[in-house]
Amino acid sequence: MRGSDAGEGIALPAVAGPAVTLLIADDDDVTRSGLGMLLTAQPGITVVGEAADGVEAVDRARSLRPDVVLMDVRMPRLNGIDATRQLLAEATDPPRIVVITTFENDGYVTAALSAGASGFVLKRLPVRQIAEAVRVVAAGEAVLFPAALGRMVAARPLDSAAALPQAALTGREEEVLRLMSTGLSNPEIAASLTVSLETIKTHVGNVLTKLGAQNRTHAVVIAYESGLVVPRFAG
């Protein structure tokens, strides 16, 4: 999917479908209950539970089996990074993870994306945009904000940079990865390269497999860390 940045004014595509079940994990009682009330009022979302720390998030996700977990990263007992890693290691149908954070330069967010989270949102965003991010991720897309993600990786590189040289991507696969890094969806990449959507899906699948990436967001983190994509910052 496409996202211009992690701040206000982002444009997320409308995603229609059955109601998305959501678990909210945040150690701040006011934030957690407030988000719960606000997101419950949003069309197409059913909040099925809350968790006050990472251990509880893992336990409640296993018992409630939500479609999506809205995961804070700085939590006691078990942080959101390790909670994300545990949930995505589940053998059968794990939930998708959307990281929610106060600061867009939070290094914990980059680590959570590398652990397999499908995207991130800021707590200051209007609730309708947080809700739409949840719907987008539930539908199988990623919530990707290239400029903000580039700043995060530049500020705190992780340890996956070596994955790209070892992957032996073809020229076309590298081209597809570069376009993924701009936030383009599969249909938009197909239109840009004038090929079929099925061809792009095959290329994306090959990229993820060769990189050992959890999802397309993790693949983009690797692209930034390896230097294949150079962040361009405004201002």
3 state SS of 25: strand
**Within a 10 A sphere around the Cβ of 187, how many other Cβ atoms?**
10
| Reported pTM | 0.72
The CA-atom distances, in angstroms, between 121 and each of 5, 92, 99, 215, 230 are: 10, 26, 6, 17, 22
In terms of Cα–Cα distance, which of 114, 194, 96, 206 is closest to 153? Answer: 114
In terms of Cα–Cα distance, which of 111, 61, 76 is closest to 214? Answer: 111
pLDDT band, residue 52 (cuts 50/70/90): very high
**Model pLDDT for residues 113-160, shown as the tens digit of each residue:** 878 888 888 888 889 989 988 998 898 777 766 666 666 666 655 555
Q: In the predicted model, is pLDDT for residue 16 greater than 60?
A: no
Confidence at residue 234, expressed as pLDDT on a 0 to 100 scale? 42
Q: In the predicted model, is pLDDT for residue 11 greater than 50?
A: no
CA distance 189 to 200: 7
Q: If you average pLDDT over every residue of the chain, what do you get?
A: 81
| Maximum distance among all Cα pairs of the chain, rounded to whole angstroms | 49
Q: In the numeric block, which tokens belong to residue 219?
A: 């693949």
In terms of Cα–Cα distance, which of 157, 69, 152 is closest to 106? Answer: 152
Confidence at residue 66, expressed as pLDDT on a 0 to 100 scale? 95
Q: In the numeric block, which tokens belong to residue 220?
A: 């983009």
